[in-house]
């Protein structure tokens, strides 16, 4: 049974060590044959390892300001989960390379971007992390709740669901550390704006890069995107948009939506697909 979430909840954040069978059985377009759906995730996947190391540093830089011992324990769990995410997604890079995708130039440019971001004040880096974590938790809820993900290649379905569950599980940690550090609303929103820019920009660049390597032009990509959108429950899309906007409320907290039960149920469902 999942714990009930509320602001200030200090539930356990376990560090899992899954064993995903990344092998030649994974097709280039593993998301039910749709290149756009496959490459949206592939593009995000390329940003995860370095991005999550950025998040770990941003939270760890403020651990000394946390008086709540349970929150410090959660911060350790957060760092452990994010470190494992980075290692697993880097393993998937080798699948993309074996499929013929040229990804290393993109990775170098993204690492350079994060080096620039690391020059920002500590408070803004933590606010950017909290904002990005709201995106990953909201998109995680979307992935867990979207029936279309059950049509994905089993290994990729398991990878996405495992990662999404842990994003839901630790969604409040960076935010609570930010509050413990006394970071105010203005900096929080500035960090959210930076997170929005970074996420959307790099996802778009990466997706376009991979589609070009498949020989798919913008017109064909737009048609594939419309096919994808038509298959998703409109109520789930509306929920996702509401949640992303909710971060702007002054009284917002990530645990306003308690979705651990649905997350854990989906995690149990994919255990037969990979050792999670």
Pick from 13, 17, 10: nearest CA to 77? 13
pLDDT at 5: 61
- Tell me the C-alpha to C-alpha distance, in Å, between residue 150 and each of 27, 66, 100, 165, 201: 16, 40, 26, 15, 27
Domain residue extents for the chain: 35-272
* 251 three-state secondary structure: coil
Assign domain 35-272 to its CATH architecture. Orthogonal Bundle (1.10)
Query: Are the C-beta atoms of 181 and 62 separated by less than 8 Å?
Result: yes
Residue located via tokens 């948009």: 241
Query: Are the C-beta atoms of 147 and 233 separated by less than 8 Å?
Result: yes
Pick from 114, 49, 57: nearest CA to 88? 49
* 82 three-state secondary structure: helix
- Tell me the C-alpha to C-alpha distance, in Å, between residue 138 and each of 71, 88, 130: 21, 21, 12
Is the sign of the CA dihedral 124, 126, 132, 134 positive or negative? negative
Pick from 138, 132, 137, 139: nearest CA to 114? 132
Residues 6+ apart with CB under 8 A from 63: 72, 75, 177
R_g of the chain computed on alpha carbons? 18
Pick from 57, 262, 238, 273: nearest CA to 158? 273
Q: pLDDT tens string for the chain (276 positions)?
A: 455 566 556 888 999 999 999 999 999 999 999 999 999 999 999 999 999 999 999 999 999 889 999 999 999 999 999 999 999 999 999 999 999 999 999 999 999 999 999 999 999 999 999 999 999 999 999 999 999 999 999 999 999 999 999 999 999 999 999 999 999 999 999 999 999 999 999 999 999 999 999 999 999 999 999 988 888 899 999 999 999 999 999 999 999 988 999 999 999 998 877 777
- Tell me the C-alpha to C-alpha distance, in Å, between residue 223 and each of 37, 148, 220: 12, 18, 5
Pick from 85, 21, 96: nearest CA to 50? 85
Residue located via tokens 């769990």: 77
């Amino acid at each position: 049974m999942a714990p009930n979430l509320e602001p200030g909840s200090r539930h356990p954040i376990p560090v899992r060590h899954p064993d995903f069978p990344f092998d030649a059985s994974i097709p280039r377009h593993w998301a039910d044959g749709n290149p756009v759906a496959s490459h949206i995730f592939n593009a995000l996947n390329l940003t995860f390892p370095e991005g999550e190391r950025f998040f770990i540093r941003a939270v760890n830089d403020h651990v000394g300001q946390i008086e709540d011992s349970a929150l410090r324990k959660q911060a350790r769990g957060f760092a452990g989960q994010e470190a494992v995410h980075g290692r697993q997604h880097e393993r998937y890079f080798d699948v993309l390379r074996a499929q013929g995708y040229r990804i290393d130039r993109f990775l170098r440019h993204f690492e350079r971007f994060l080096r620039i971001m690391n020059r920002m004040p500590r408070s803004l880096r933590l606010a950017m992390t909290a904002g990005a974590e709201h995106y990953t938790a909201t998109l995680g809820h979307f992935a867990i709740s979207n029936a279309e993900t059950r049509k994905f290649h089993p290994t990729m379905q398991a990878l996405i669901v495992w990662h999404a569950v842990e994003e839901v599980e630790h969604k409040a940690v960076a935010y609570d550390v930010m509050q413990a550090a006394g970071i105010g609303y203005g900096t929080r929103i500035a960090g959210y704006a930076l997170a929005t820019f970074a996420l959307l920009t790099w996802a778009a660049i990466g997706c376009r890069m991979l589609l070009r390597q498949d020989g798919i032009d913008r017109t064909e990509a737009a048609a594939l995107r419309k096919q994808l959108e038509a298959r998703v429950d409109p109520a789930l899309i509306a929920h996702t948009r509401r949640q992303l906007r909710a971060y702007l409320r002054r009284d917002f907290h990530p645990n306003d939506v308690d979705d651990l039960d649905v997350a854990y149920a989906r995690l149990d469902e994919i255990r037969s697909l990979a050792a999670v």
